[in-house]
Amino acid sequence: MQIDNNLLRQQFAQAFGPGGRVRIIRAPGRVNLIGEHTDYNDGFVFPMAIEPEVRLACRAREDGKVRFSSTLFAGEVAEFSVDGDVARAAHGHWSNYPRGVAAMLKAAGIPMMGMDALLTNSLPGGGGLSSSAAIEVATAQGFLALAGYNMEPMRLALICQKAEHEYPKVPCGIMDQMIVTTAKIGHAMLFDCRAFMRKPIPMPPEELQVVIANTMVKHDLTGADGKTEYAKRREQCGMGVTYFKTIKPGIKSLRDVTPELVNGAQGKLDDVVFRRCRHVVGETQRCQDAAAALVAKDYNKVGELMKQSHESLRADFEVSCEELDFLSSEANKVAGVYGARMTGGGFGGCIVALCQPSAVAALIAHLQTTYKNSKYGIDPVVFATSATSGAGVME
């Protein structure tokens, strides 16, 4: 869905009244092509910015008050002030994302002014395509534009990450904010989560398209001990690091563990911990191999690595689900598809498929039909995208 800036301006005037200079900010969503559950293990990730996005219409105020509204929550206006400490909303409320951004920008010494802001969104909700990071970055860009202030993209990404940690209380990694702020059109980004080094990798749209399919499900799995599955995976990775340190004291994270070292631990480590480690070590290598294969235009190899990634996430890391498995398998049956895999944290959300441009229509139709006619009976959101640019001021 293409967002119309004229319509956004009309909606803004209806919400906050006419007049004044209204700025329009764009921030894309993102998809991770390969490299899952590697970020908190100091590994590599390989995301790209996608065409679905958020846009923010904003106008300066003189009184330090921020009035923030979203087309997703018609008629609801969140109000807070940047003159003093920025108040938090109730836990789970959407306005904690812009509130956190305002607080962190102020803490970073940015001159703040009041703002009326209206957010609209073409990203599918709940699909794991990073609408939260897009909202944070769009909000930050709005405050900066009104203050006449420019900021280096990675600094902006770190501020937005801290905002998500402090206000919504989501312990996210840096990948989402990094790609939303730094993406280069026509490129994915190989990102080293330890060294914070970025390497743009060409994704020529005339040769490659990415198709994303949302399962429309999210299995929230929390054990009797109250721990989320995500928290358990992080704990299990930490147990692996503790073991490998006894063999090689210089190891700081699973990033430092070689395939030979992890394979040698089979039968010595707890089987579950072993398989978690095997996934992370293999996925870190697959991520780098996929970037090299893209540079070499060996798209078949990229596809095979994506399939291997999905199988590892299913069998070793155990974060897939039957809906993700079904859509990935069906995508891989379509001629012209190089490979497909689950993307994101798992237990629902989206798959991502890499394919030839000529295969896009057939792939979308096949996924829509087979998923609807399967035992799941769900209409998935399926769309194609090229790699787009990072956030910025449009008008």
CB count within 10 Å of CB 128 equals 24
Q: How many helices (H) and strands (E) does the chain have?
A: 11, 13
CA distance 337 to 358: 10
Q: Which of 4, 176, 256, 379 is catalytic?
A: 176
Q: Which long-range contacts (CB under 8 A, 24 or more apart) does 253-261 make?
A: 253/41, 253/42, 253/194, 254/41, 254/42, 254/43, 254/280, 254/281, 254/284, 255/41, 255/42, 255/43, 255/193, 255/194, 255/284, 256/42, 257/281, 259/285
- Give yes or no: 176 in active site: yes
CB count within 10 Å of CB 189 equals 25
In the block, residue with structure tokens 């490129």 = 187
Detail the DSSP E strand segments found in the chain. 23-32, 44-45, 47-61, 65-70, 77-81, 114-121, 187-192, 197-202, 209-218, 337-343, 348-355, 381-385, 392-393
In the block, residue with structure tokens 């079904």 = 326
The answer to whether the beta carbons of residues 164 and 100 sit under 8 Å apart is yes
CA distance 230 to 228: 5
In the block, residue with structure tokens 């305002």 = 102
CA distance 138 to 393: 9
Question: Which helix (DSSP H) or strand (DSSP E) does residue 311 occupy?
Answer: helix 299-315
Detail the DSSP E strand segments found in 96-232. 114-121, 187-192, 197-202, 209-218
* Per-residue tokens: 182: 């730094």
Helix axes 299-315, 271-295, angle to 10 degrees: 170
The answer to whether the beta carbons of residues 259 and 300 sit under 8 Å apart is no
CA distance 217 to 348: 5
- Residues carrying an active site annotation: 176
